Amino acid sequence: MNPKPYANTRPLGCEIAMPELENINSARYWDRRFASGDWQAKGGPSQTARFAKSQVPKLQLSKTFDGTLVDFGCGTGDAFPIYRNAYPNARLVGIDFSSEAIRLCRAKYHGLGEFIRGDSASVPDCNVVIVSNVLEHLTNDTIVVDELLKRCQRLFIVVPYEERELCEEHVRTYDYRAFSDFPVKRREIFASKGWSEFGLANVFGIQLGNLIRGAAGLPPRRRRLQIMFEIRGMLSPGLPA
Ligand SMILES: C[S@@+](CC[C@H](N)C(=O)[O-])C[C@H]1O[C@@H](n2cnc3c(N)ncnc32)[C@H](O)[C@@H]1O
């Protein structure tokens, strides 16, 4: 993809302190990131919670939803209080291939859901899978999507939208046409808490800042956004929804 002349800064929490770790697609990488406290020190847990607050209204599930919702790549489980509050009757399942992530999920949120150490093959048949801010870290993203679609009715993918200067851990960027080989039902580009600039950061950093940058002949800085894809899963609607 050709980078456009946007001058984005790095998103919060993306400067990692472990450059010696090479394979960011490995469970070992994530185990060490969680066990070292780097994820926590960079605000990972609160970022996950803010992501979930922005995403839940977009799922279009009712408060009475009593099916199964799987959070794939759930990290330290910090979306679960938000899911539980939104869907008191749902079965909530968190899956992550990092054993350290799952240990922390169980320690913090054991009453809120089930937590399973595993990859896409461990996802139980379910109504909904959410994959929040995971796929941009993966070299095999479409293989994972294929696997997830076999196991659910609806798949929600949320990733950074047209990220220009890739955050250190990210290996790919997505635009509106991404996943067009799959049966995408809905796409939504949105400002997300935990990623996008809001309030003064938006007014001064982006809007007024761009007036000044424009006057100085500098390229504009674009507000960071995310995109959600809803993709039709292969499970027929026999499951409770
Ligand atoms: C950047 S964190 C995202 C955490 C959370 N979903 C959020 O929205 O903040 C990525 C998570 O995906 C997990 N992960 C990455 N690849 C995975 C795979 N193939 N199977 C299961 N989990 C994976 C990592 O262990 C990590 O916890």
- What digits encode the pLDDT tens for the residues 47-106? 999 999 999 999 999 999 999 999 999 999 999 999 999 999 999 999 999 999 999 999
DSSP assigned state of 69? E
Domain ranges of the chain: 27-196+225-232
C-alpha 75 – ligand 1 centre gap (Å): 5
C-alpha 134 – ligand 1 centre gap (Å): 5
C-alpha 25 – ligand 1 centre gap (Å): 9
**Which sign, positive or negative, has the C-alpha torsion 224, 141, 155, 42?**
negative
pTM of the model: 0.90
pLDDT at 4: 28
Determine the atom of ligand 1 nearest the C-alpha atom of 134.
Answer: 10
> How far, in Å, CA of 164 to CA of 182, rounded?
24
Average pLDDT over residues 108-137: 97
Mean pLDDT rounded to a whole number for the chain: 89
Confidence of residue 43 (pLDDT cuts 50, 70, 90): very high
**Owner of token pair 């919670």:** 49
Q: pLDDT tens digit string along 142-189?
A: 999 999 999 999 999 999 999 988 888 899 999 999 999 999 999 999
Residue 239 to residues 45, 95, 147, 195, 236, Cα–Cα distance (Å): 31, 20, 18, 34, 8
Please say whether the beta carbons of 112 and 71 come within 8 A: no
pLDDT at 25: 82
| pLDDT reading at 11 higher than 50 | no
- CATH code for the part of the protein at 27-196+225-232: 3.40.50.150
pLDDT at 238: 59
Determine the atom of ligand 1 nearest the C-alpha atom of 29.
Answer: 25
pLDDT at 239: 56
Determine the atom of ligand 1 nearest the C-alpha atom of 34.
Answer: 27
Q: pLDDT tens digit string along 12-42?
A: 344 444 445 567 889 999 999 999 999 999 9
C-alpha 125 – ligand 1 centre gap (Å): 19
